[in-house]
Amino acid sequence: MNPKEIIARRAAQELNYGDVVNLGIGLPTMISDYITDDLEVTLQSENGILGMGGAAPKGRKDKDVINAGGQNVSVKSGASFFDSSTSFGIIRGGHVDITILGALQVDKEGTLASHIVPGKMVSGMGGAMDLVVGAKKVIIAMTHTAKGTPKLLDKVTLPPTAVKKVRRIITELAVIDVEEDGFKLVEISPETTIEEVKKLTGAYLKIDSHLKIMKVL
């Protein structure tokens, strides 16, 4: 199982029955493929879909049915389509229960940097600025490092997308909560150690007294 699949599978466990959920572009879009059939959630996409499903099956792709990242997706029975202004009205109106986004960096205060690397062309902010403000809960799903460089930091060094909005971070190595006094390790992969996670985290990391082993279904 590759790191991104591990992250997506674990992140899918954050969803609860009845949630309205927005999944960011990139890695988070994989989460829709790991939502169990018995969990009734409604996926919203900022390009104007409510009731989105997982990736479109081979041979059944509709070029006009895509998520915000431009990937072909399926839709559930009863899904609706609308313009972006209505979609962002849903987001800004506080109707999204949880958003799971990717990130370039997150710091110990929950500040997120996700949209720009100076001197490089990237996809841009998209709806992230609206989602981190409008969603009731913000979770980051990302790899723990970028080619060995920590992405969890004392302070973000890239331009911030939003300040003090992230509550939980899921990586291939751990589940880390953002608390008032910094990062807390609450789950750890059975494939690593506390010492290794600390080494790859660019900020002080508290260890939960009830630390759990991260389960990937």
pLDDT at residue number 37: 85
pTM: 0.92
What is the per-residue pLDDT across 167-182, written as a single tens digit (0 to 9) for each?
999 999 999 999 999 9
- Concatenated DSSP letters for 58-126? TT---TT-B-TTS-BEEEEEEEEE--HHHHHHHHHTT--SEEEE--SEEETT--EE-S--TTS-----T
What is the per-residue pLDDT across 191-204, written as a single tens digit (0 to 9) for each?
999 999 999 999 99
Confidence of residue 156 (pLDDT cuts 50, 70, 90): very high
* d(C-alpha 169, C-alpha 167), whole Å: 7
Amino acid symbol at 100: I
Query: CA 204, 205, 206 angle in degrees (round to 5)?
Result: 120
Instruction: Give how far Cα 179 sits from Cα of 32, 71, 112, 170, 187, Å.
Output: 28, 34, 14, 15, 15
Active site residues: 46
Phi/psi at 28 (5° precision): -60, -25
Q: Which domain holds residue 182?
A: 3-213
Residue 195 is part of a domain; what is its CATH number? 3.40.1080.10
* d(C-alpha 153, C-alpha 176), whole Å: 12
Q: Measured in Å, how far apart are the chain's first and last C-alpha atoms?
A: 11
Residue with tokens 């989105």: 52
Instruction: Give how far Cα 102 sits from Cα of 28, 131, 171, 204, Å.
Output: 6, 12, 10, 22
| Contacting residues for 37 by C-beta, under 8 A, at least 6 apart | none
51: nearest Cα among 38, 67, 62, 36: 67
What is the per-residue pLDDT across 91-104, written as a single tens digit (0 to 9) for each?
999 999 999 999 99
Stated as kind and residue range, the H or E segment containing 55 is strand 49-55
Structural domain count of the chain: 1
Residue of 131 and 206 predicted with greater confidence: 206
pLDDT tops 90 at residue 67:
no
CA 4 to chain centroid? 11
* CB distance 24 to 8 below 8 Å: no
